[in-house]
Structures are given as structure tokens and as C-alpha cells.
Amino acid sequence: MNVQKIILKVFALFSVVRGYNLIVLILAQYLAALFIFAPEVGHRQLLTNPKLDGLILCSILCVAAGYIINNFYDLEKDELKRPLQVYLQKQVSQGFKLTVYIVLNALALIISALISWKVFIFFLVYQFLVWFYSHKINRFALIKNFYLVIIRVMPFFALLVYFDHFTFNLALHATFLTILLLITDIVKDLSSQKADLIYNYDSIPIKYGIDFTKVLISCLIITELIIGIIIIMKNDVGAMKYFFIAANITFTVILFIIWRIKSTQAYKILHYFFKGMIVAGVFSIVLIEINPLTLQTIAQNFNQRIN
């Protein structure tokens, strides 16, 4: 096998495991640990904690394995939705994907067992839930959306198991993230109706209709607006409150324009926009430690220097 083929297969495997999503997840988990779960612990002490590193590694291995098994079952359907990406992914055989899937899950269980028996049980259950989604649940409308979102937020519950630390503030952040992921997934269903119809997948738009889907999205957006207002009013998230202010303004605009959207391309753009919001939310976690008054002082000093 020449070097060019090896590089192609590496890129293909990176695409199968959604490497870009894994990078965001790693960042999100470390930031959540630093600023939400254990803000009282020194950053260096936390980042050099081998058990935390092992926990996050277990999450990444399990999520990567989940993407592999989902790709294994949905490869034909994805050919209609993203043909170029599927062409790249086909450079890796189905047999090799299954082998990597087993190896990743086994490594995750070994590492989790070294951390604690609670973490081991957590990831064992998580791996089963991921497999069950790909094997059975992903063909059923509405159920699959809620089920998938639970799977996606579970890596953060692994941090909860490890730190054994739960607060009202944490519950608000978790709920906001969960609903945002749910909105993103439902909008994705709107953009993939053609492929779902051809391969007989029951999605919310196909089973319940476009109007019902938009009503559901609107209700979820209104819920996000309420949670965002509560977080802003609590005023204990530092400068991260500006993210929630921007998110609430954005949600209000989308609440009105979503009823005007009709084309598949527009739904795809909206789907990627919500994904961008998730990434923005991850990066904004670092603002929790920054006091808004400090930002105002910096801005005033900057204006004085200019003038």
C-alpha cells in the first residue's frame, strides 16, 4: 500500500468518526470541568489529573465508536445526503470499521475500569445505548430525536458521575444544551426528508408533517428563551451572559423566519447555523470567570487611549 492510499484511508476514518466533532467534544468537556463542574480547583491541577484525562478519553473513544456503528447502518442513506463524504468513507471497508468499533469500545472499558467501577458501568451502559440507537431506534420518528440527544449529552453526565457535583446552575446549562441539540437534530430531519422517504426512515416531518415540526421547533425555541432569561437574570455566569443574550436575540429572529423557510437548502443552512451556535456556546464557557464589569473597564480604557 502506497503512502497516498494510507493518507486517504486516514482521512476516510477521520470522516467516519467525525473527527471535527470529537475535537469540539474534547474542548467542551475540559472547559465544562474547569469552569462548571470544578471551578474551585486550580486549572493546572485539573488538567494534569490522569483520571479526568482518562474519563474524557473514554468519552471520545465511545463517541467515535458510536459514529462508526451509525455509519455502518446508515451508509446507503448518507449517499443521497452527502455523496462526496460517503465516497471518501468507502475507502475504509465495512469489516475494518467493525474492527475499529470493537477495539475503541474495548479500550474505553479497560480505561474506565481503571478509573472506578461507577465509570465502568456508566460507559458500558452508554455503549449499549449507542448500539441500540443505530440498530433499532434511528428509524422511529420523535423517539429517535429525544434518544439521540440523550446519547449526545451523556459524555457530560460522565463528568457528573466523576465529580459527583450537581447544582441548579449546572441543570440550567445542561437543559439549554440538550434542547439546542434537539432543535438542531429536528432541523436536520427537515433537510433530509428525501433520503428518509427513500430508505423508509420515520422522521418527524414525514410522519407528523412540516407544520407540526415547525410548531415543535417553535415551542423548543420559546423554552430556550425562558432558560436563557433565567440564566441572564441569575447573573452568575460572568461574561458568558453575553452569549445567552445573543442566543436569545437569535432565537427570537428564527422564531419568526422559520415559518417562511420552505427549501431543503434553507433548512441545511439553518441546521449548520445551530451547529455553529453549539460551538460558540462551547467557546463561551471560558467567559464564566470573566466579570462583565472588567470588560467594561477594559473597553473604557481602550476608548480613552483612542481619544
What DSSP assignment string belongs to 262-278? -SHHHHHHHHHHHHHHH
What is the per-residue pLDDT across 15-25, written as a single tens digit (0 to 9) for each? 777 788 899 99
**Cβ count near 200 (within 10 Å):** 9
According to the model, what pLDDT value does residue 79 have? 58
Tell which residue, 53, 252, 281, 52, has the closest CA to residue 180.
281
Whether residue 295 has pLDDT greater than 50: no
Task: Classify burial at 76, counting beta carbons within 10 Å of its beta carbon; exposed 0-12, middle 13-18, buried 19 or more.
Answer: exposed
Q: What is the pTM assigned to this prediction? A: 0.84
What is the per-residue pLDDT across 57-113, written as a single tens digit (0 to 9) for each? 999 999 999 888 887 766 666 555 665 555 556 667 778 788 888 999 999 999 999
Tell which residue, 217, 204, 205, 200, has the closest CA to residue 270.
217
Q: What is the DSSP letter of 17?
A: T
Identity of the amino acid at 100: V
Q: Residues 26, 60: contact at Cβ < 8 Å?
A: yes
Q: What gap in Å lies between CA 146 and CA 149, rounded to an integer?
A: 5
Exposure string of 202-232, with b = 16+ CB inside 10 Å and e = fewer, is bbbbbeeeeeebbebbbebbebbbebbeebb
Q: What gap in Å lies between CA 240 and CA 231, rounded to an integer?
A: 10
According to the model, what pLDDT value does residue 112 have? 94
User: 166: phi > 0 → left, psi -120 to 50 → alpha, else beta; which?
Assistant: beta
According to the model, what pLDDT value does residue 192 have? 82
Q: Among 1.10.357.140, 3.40.50.1980, 1.20.1110.10, 3.90.78.10, what is the CATH number of 1-144?
A: 1.10.357.140
Question: Coil, strand, or helix at residue 72?
Answer: helix
Question: Coil, strand, or helix at residue 91?
Answer: coil
Helix ranges (H only) for 116-263 are 117-135, 143-163, 168-191, 193-198, 204-208, 210-234, 241-257
Q: Residues 192, 81: contact at Cβ < 8 Å?
A: yes
Calculate the average pLDDT of the chain: 83
Phi, then psi, of 244 in degrees rounded to 5: -70, -35
Q: What gap in Å lies between CA 142 and CA 258, rounded to an integer?
A: 19
Cα of 170 vs its chain's centroid, Å: 17
Identity of the amino acid at 144: K
Whether residue 35 has pLDDT greater than 90: no
Whether residue 185 has pLDDT greater than 50: yes
Q: Show Cβ contacts of residue 10 under 8 Å, excluding neighbours closer than 6 positions.
A: none
Domain spans of the chain, in order of start? 1-144, 167-295
According to the model, what pLDDT value does residue 19 have? 81
